[in-house]
Amino acid sequence: MFKEIPLKRPTTPLLDGITAPADLRNLDEEQLTELATQLREYLLYTVGRTGGHFGAGLGVVELTLALHYVYNTPDDRLVWDVGHQCYPHKIITGRREQMHTMRMADGLAGFPKRAESEYDTFGVGHSSTSISAALGMALAARQKGEDRRTVAVIGDGAMTAGMAFEAINHAAHCRADMLVVLNDNQMSISKNEGGLNTYFSKIWASKVYNNIRSGGKEILAKLPGNPKELVGRLEEYMKGMVAPATLFEELGFNYIGPIDGHDLDVLVPTIRNMRELEGPQLLHIITRKGKGFEPAEKDPIGYHAITKIEPSPVQPKAVKKPKGPKYQKVFGDWLCDTATVDQRLVGITPAMCEGSGMVEFAERFSDRYYDVAIAEQHALTLAAGMACEGLKPVVAIYSTFLQRAYDQLIHDIALQDLDVTFGIDRAGLVGEDGPTHAGAFDLSYLRCIPNMVVMAPSDENETRQLLYTGYCYSGPAAIRYPRGTGPGALIEREMRELPIGKGTIKREGKNIALLNFGTLLPAAIAAADRLDASVADMRFVKPLDEALILELADQHDLLVTLEENAIAGGAGSAVNEFLQASGRNNAVLNLGLPDEFTDHGKHETMLAACGLDADGIFASIARLLDESNQVLAVKT
């Protein structure tokens, strides 16, 4: 059991000899336990150097080794769900010496990525996709006549999503040759139950048992009457007495487990036997998140991910100005304050309590808090049902996850003009988590929906006030805000309902007007100071402040729109459409995220690469004016 993260590279002679899974398969099975220890220690060391996802990877060290040891990867396909747990997989698939670049610009991605390695068979980041993807691969192998196997590894949290069960149902219907590993880290195995379940799992996975089973079915099929149904029921009831098999058996999977996912002496032979079985198989393993690192085992939520661990500096660093609260805390405080004065408020989240800042609300208002697990579609329609009965649902959801419930947003909420408020977290770029988690499209996909009010606050206080404004609005309203801290605005405790569709002027200038949507306002003002330009904090993407846009168009030659959202279809497009409909012929420059997926890195570095920092905004405007042969008066 490790109690500290090593600051020096550990000695790992067995691991150092693994440059690919083929090397792993050359080891004796008895060596895997020592290899697991070395892999776990090396994982602690590398994540300590870079930061990143932590507990999930520690929990699947033995499973990772067992799967690559038994299956002929990459010819056999291995699909991970979500991908938080992929670090051990990356270490033994040829990327060990690149782990120090994890989640850095031009370095390894924090999730499986097809462009990075042939062993990353499917790019992930969102949950509950693994079974569908693996099924597609298994059916493709069947259609192409290829002799290879497919494995999907999915956690018990991801298994709560409807998509996982849709895939299970289809896999059973197709009788696909595939293995689903259910990695259950919410339970502990007691000594007696563990031994009993391991005993039966060995039996059910063994060739002897399965030969008897298949042979018996052939004999019974020749007998008169229907003894086959009786024997099948007896087998089902026997399994149901010692394992939670009934659900998966009824869905058409052969269920094995649960077994200890950290016991390689059980795990390897079980997986080896199951690889040879035909049809859809499900192996249920019990693991411990953060396994082998004592602090993470005691606090799996706190150690889901860690920041880079810095060694003690030789010289003390300069004292930094304390940062203000994160936007997630601003949301959580507003939620609690509003719930205190309005009994109708209910809070809903699809498994993002901690990330969305709802911990205090969940504790103080437990009777009005609903964590629906990883089920975004259900979260929205649940909110719709509550709104129909006069409650005031507030849905806290990441921008990238709201995409998964788009039909429910349109059909179940907006179409019926229901009173649901959305706190849209992680809007814009999200730094090291990369494009799978970026909220790059919400302004585009929200503003085209009738009845929606869409807000983009520029700082912490405006976020609080617009959350209140959206809550007071009788209809669907979305307030989008980024990950992390803001510019440090003074947060007013008193909540004010701001006028819908009204922006405000932040700086008076000449010739050029910057129309800012969201938290790029400090960069906009910094660029405007160099250009002597006007700056408007637009606040609302829908409805637009049309009067303010016309005023700016009449007083300025060039309008520049700014948003941390895709340019295509975003807030800038809304301004273009309005100006064209109004017959205005001002020059317009739309600045936002380019038409590509922006790779992972530091948030400020990514903004600069997209031209959305102060220098980039200035440079884009200067370039446009230079190309137009206009004279640019710049303040020095």
Catalytic residue among 149, 289, 291, 483: 289
Token couple for 317: 């660093």
What residues contact residue 348 under an 8 Å CB cut-off, 6+ apart?
370, 372, 379, 382, 383, 393, 394, 395, 396
CA distance 421 to 473: 9
CA distance 281 to 266: 17
What residues contact residue 83 under an 8 Å CB cut-off, 6+ apart?
110, 111, 112, 124, 125, 436
Helix, strand, coil percentages in the chain from 3-state DSSP, rounded to 5:
45, 15, 40
Token couple for 328: 């997630």
CA distance 580 to 586: 9
CA distance 172 to 174: 5
404 flagged as catalytic: yes
If you count DSSP H runs as helices and E runs as strands, how many of each does the chain have, helices first? Answer: 26, 19
Place of tokens 């996802």: 53
Place of tokens 């200035």: 618
CB 595 within 8 A of CB 566: yes
Q: How far apart are the first and last CA of the chain?
A: 61
CA distance 116 to 599: 12
CA distance 463 to 491: 9
Angle between helices 264-275 and 32-50 (to 10 degrees): 100
Helix H or strand E segment including 392: strand 392-398
Catalytic residue among 103, 291, 368, 404: 404
CA distance 211 to 200: 16
Catalytic residue among 41, 249, 376, 432: 376
Angle between helices 264-275 and 61-70 (to 10 degrees): 40
9 flagged as catalytic: no
CA distance 350 to 409: 14
How does DSSP assign 30-84, residue by residue?
GGHHHHHHHHHHHHHHHHHHH-EE-HHHHHTHHHHHHHHHHS-TTTSEEEESSST
**Category of 130 on φ-ψ map: left (φ > 0), alpha (ψ -120 to 50) or beta:** alpha
3-state secondary structure of 100: helix
3 flagged as catalytic: no
CA distance 166 to 78: 20
435 DSSP 8-state letter = T
CB 86 within 8 A of CB 61: no
Nearest to 163 by CA among 113, 138, 129: 129
Diameter of the chain by CA atoms? 98
Which amino acids are annotated catalytic?
Answer: 289, 376, 404
